[in-house]
Amino acid sequence: MLKGKMTVNFVKKFDDEIFIDKMKVYFRVYNFLYKGLL
């Protein structure tokens, strides 16, 4: 039971990190395009 809960937490944390990485990439691209257009 505890192991399963830890696995879920690990996967959740992993997903969050991937999501944050994606947001950083999107933000960087958005910033780049925004500055390029101005």
Could you tell me the two tokens for 36? 């390029």
pLDDT of residue 25: 94
Q: What is the DSSP letter of 27?
A: H
pLDDT in tens, 1-38: 577 787 888 888 888 898 999 999 999 999 999 888 76
Q: How far apart are the C-alpha atoms of 9 and 21, rounded to whole Å? A: 18
pLDDT of residue 38: 66
pTM over 0.75: no
